[in-house]
Amino acid sequence: MAANSEFYLARAAQSAKEASEAVLDNVRDRCLRSEKAWQAMADRTVYAEKERDKKNQVKIALGSLPLPIQA
């Protein structure tokens, strides 16, 4: 199962919340590192999603990919 950017962003937000609620410094630091890692994964996924959409638009324009079905 491939995770999407929304999943990673939600995890980053949860880690930030946990960091703000942490009492111990080491726990807060761990949560902040976790937030940074989740945000990096979200950023990479957003970039990949945008690039995939661009490639699909080019394929549609060239006629090598069928048009998406509109519901």
Q: Is residue 44 part of a domain?
A: yes
pTM exceeds 0.75 = no
Q: Using N-to-C axis directions, what is the helix angle for 5-21 and 25-62, rounded to 10°? A: 160
Task: Give the span between the Cα atoms of 66 and 32, in whole angstroms.
Answer: 44
Q: Report if residue 12 sits inside a domain.
A: yes
Q: Output the pLDDT for position 61.
A: 79
The pLDDT of residue 1: 46
User: Which range marks the domain in which residue 9 is found?
Assistant: 5-59
Confirm whether 70 is domain-assigned.
no
What pLDDT does residue 28 have? 97
Count up the domains in the chain and report the number: 1
Is 17 a member of any domain? yes
On the 0-12 / 13-18 / 19+ scale of CB atoms within 10 A, 7 is: middle
pLDDT tens, the chain, 71 aa long: 467 889 999 999 999 999 999 999 999 999 999 999 999 999 999 999 899 989 888 877 777 766 667 76
Residue 15 covered by a domain: yes
